[in-house]
Amino acid sequence: MSDIQLSPSEMARYARHIAIPEFNVEGQRKLKGAKVLVIGSGGLGSPLLLYLAAAGIGRLGIVDFDVVDESNLQRQVLFTVDDVGKPKADTAAERLRKLNPHIDIRVHNTRFTSENALDLVAQYDVVADGTDNFPTRYLVNDACVLAGKTNVYASIFRFEGQVSVFNYPLEDGSRGPNYRDLFPEPPPPGLVPNCAEGGVLGVLPGIIGSLQASEVIKVITGVGDPLTGRLFLFDAASFTTRILKVAKNPATRIEELIDYELFCGIQPDEEIAVPEIQVSELKTWIDRGADFQLIDVREAYEYDIANLGGTLIPLGTIAERAKQIDRNKKVVIHCRSGKRSADAIRELQHLYQFDNLYNLKGGILAWSKEIDQSVPTY
């Protein structure tokens, strides 16, 4: 790293790093020479990107195709109310450039897919996974294994978080355990809700994302012992931590990228379509006093924030409470975005052969946008 030099301004900026004997100028040069790809700029990505940018990572890549939503602001500290509706990746890059003008920020305003994963990963030295769904986690892992890149992983849910370092190069030339060694198979679809459905304590991503940033820095500089072969678990509710050992599984084979939606049991929408109505049509039904039943399959706390006056039957109880659903009239089922309500309809159709159910396309979000903007989208 002797060919990478720090300017006087950078020497002053990173003085507290350089003052650490184990770190010094050489460690800072390694950071400047490093290229890190961060998948996702949301809950985990926000603190991760902020601290990696502040630390002086030479090139930061951001992969995110989403836009900022008001409900993000409870935990995604990269963004402000002025950013609502803007692309996350572009907005994050703008903020990071103001934080540290000495680094190179690359924006990849796209979905991370099997088609572009290997090309994106190949451009960077280390990958940091800040995603919130199983198909993308397996895709990130497999792309890193195939490309020979270290994957610094983290995940969060409600009060709990976990961190590990996968596919880390070992002294004997081999690689440490990867995500598939820990989780060979994904959980059944719907068993583990995402943050939007299950919730997350706002400060938890800050804690876990900061630990993830620390592991990235350790991997790059060689300072300290990375969490390879170990899984760190944190519970904010009880303030307890555990470290579990992760061993390599000789049976693990990753030879190519696959269809990760299918692997995780998620069928393409077009193959499992359900009858839908638009929010404008529902509004017409309501205004005309049409005879129909409205079912809300969100959680009780969501219903308290915003509702359309429907009967609350959370998705997890829909099968056991099927008798509450009228078979003799049209039934509109809705949730926040339309996904859970579609899942509810498929379950009811499969178990009880309902043929009078309609999914409210776009759910509460579409109602708030197109019909009544006073309805919170949380």
At residue 354, φ and ψ (nearest 5 deg) are -65, 140
In angstroms, what CA-CA distances link 368 with 135, 187, 260, 280, 371?
30, 33, 32, 11, 6
Residue 195 annotated to the active site: yes
Q: Is 235 helix (H, G, I), strand (E, B) or coil?
A: strand
Q: Where in the chain is the domain with CATH 3.40.50.720?
A: 34-263
Please tell me which residue in 335, 342, 348, 360 is annotated as part of the active site.
335
pLDDT value, residue 268: 56
Q: Residue 179: helix, strand or coil by DSSP?
A: helix
pTM: 0.78
pLDDT value for 267? 62
Helix, strand, coil tally for the chain in percent (to 5):
40, 20, 40
Catalytic residue among 53, 152, 195, 264: 195
- For position 350, what pLDDT does the model report? 87
In this prediction, residue 2 carries a pLDDT of: 59
Q: Where in the chain is the domain with CATH 3.40.250.10?
A: 269-370
299: amino acid identity, one letter: E
- State which CATH number among 3.30.428.10, 3.90.1640.10, 3.90.550.10, 3.40.50.720 fits the domain covering 34-263: 3.40.50.720
pLDDT in tens, the chain (378 residues): 558 999 999 999 999 999 999 999 999 999 999 999 999 999 999 999 999 999 999 999 999 999 998 889 999 999 999 998 899 999 999 999 999 999 999 999 999 999 999 999 999 999 999 998 999 999 999 999 999 999 999 999 999 999 999 999 999 999 999 999 999 988 876 666 666 667 889 999 999 999 999 999 999 999 999 999 999 999 999 999 999 999 999 999 999 999 998 888 776 544 567 999 999 999 999 999 999 999 999 999 899 999 999 999 999 899 999 999 999 999 999 999 998 999 899 999 989 999 999 999 999 999 999 999 999 887
pLDDT value of residue 270:
45
Cα within 13 Å of Cα(101), Cβ side:
3
CATH 3.30.420.40, domain 269-370, yes or no: no
